[in-house]
Amino acid sequence: MSADTEGSRQRLQKVLSAAGHFSRRRAEMLMQEGRIRINGELATEMGVRVDPDVDVVSVDGKVVPLKTSALYIMLNKPKGVVSTLADEQGRPDLGAYVKQIGERVVNVGRLDADTTGLLLMTNDGDLVHRLSHPSFEVTKVYTATVKGSLDTAALRKLTTGVELEDGVTAADKAKIVGEPRTGSSIVELVLHSGKNRVIRRMMESVGHPVIDLHRKAVGGLHLGGLKPGTWRELSTLEVKDLLTLAHRADAPTKEPSNDRED
């Protein structure tokens, strides 16, 4: 066993260098400057060892990805695709995209078959557990085409709170976007609730059932110009932001439920 390793634990400098973040010398300088933390604790000991699969290392408050085999994917899910890797009813599913990606990745949460937009996929099990947990409320942005002419009273109700069968739920923001069409309106909703099919139920409650629903952002990640049915890997900066979000102080650590649909 080399001096740099001890079982699955390796010197922090070596881990950061192997993950492509810093040279060993640069990592040592950052430690001396008090800019690196391990599991929230300041890293000052030059010989400190970490396990890349277990420990959380942050630099200047941003969690850095240490798992060199981890893959983080953003998919623009098209309508009609169910959020499962293999569908028993033979409907289009995520299995086709997993084949394209070439790695065994799973979806983080779900979008129902009729909802389009941003769906995260990864082989990082810890991230899936954290972001899929029912108590983990991450900000999401949706665009919904709804029946009828949406007015300011309905918008106000969406942001002050709508009574649903599982409790009162409110959007962080709600605004009409674009020009309303004949017999329908387009509304943008920002909310952090993780309740099942919450947008559809909220809009139904205020008398404007959803016709089309699209998720364009999750936790600071945006689809941008990604076309329906296509995917891309997250950038290093996007991965850092995502991991930092997942490991925030109030993030859950218990086993999740991955059955929610938005």
Architecture of the domain whose range is 72-136+221-246: 2-Layer Sandwich (3.30)
Q: How does 92-130 read in b/e, with b if 16+ C-beta sit within 10 Å?
A: ebbeebbeebeeebbbbbbbbbebbbbbbbbbbebbbbb
Please write the tens of the pLDDT for every residue from 171-228.
999 999 976 677 899 999 999 877 889 999 999 999 999 999 999 999 989 999 999 9
Q: Residue 181: what pLDDT?
A: 72
Q: Of 97, 127, 92, nearest to 113 (Cα)?
A: 92
What pairing do the DSSP bridges indicate for beta strands 9-11 and 49-50?
A: antiparallel
Q: Residue 256: what pLDDT?
A: 44
Please write the tens of the pLDDT for every residue from 234-252.
999 999 999 999 987 555 5
Which active-site residues does the annotation give? 112
Q: Residue 85: what pLDDT?
A: 94
DSSP-based three-state secondary structure for 145: strand
Contacts 24+ apart (CB under 8 A), 155-161: 155/187, 157/206, 158/189, 158/202, 158/206
Per-domain residue ranges of the chain: 5-63, 72-136+221-246, 140-218
- Which residues of the chain, if any, have pLDDT below 70? 1-7, 134, 179-180, 249-262
The CATH topology of domain 140-218 is Alpha-Beta Plaits (3.30.70)
Q: Residue 1: what pLDDT?
A: 42
d(CA 188, CA 179): 12
Whether residue 162 contacts residue 198, with contact meaning beta carbons closer than 8 Å, is answered with: no
Fold matches, 5-63 and 140-218: no
Tokens of 201: 């139920």
The CATH topology of domain 5-63 is 3.10.290
Q: Residue 170: what pLDDT?
A: 95
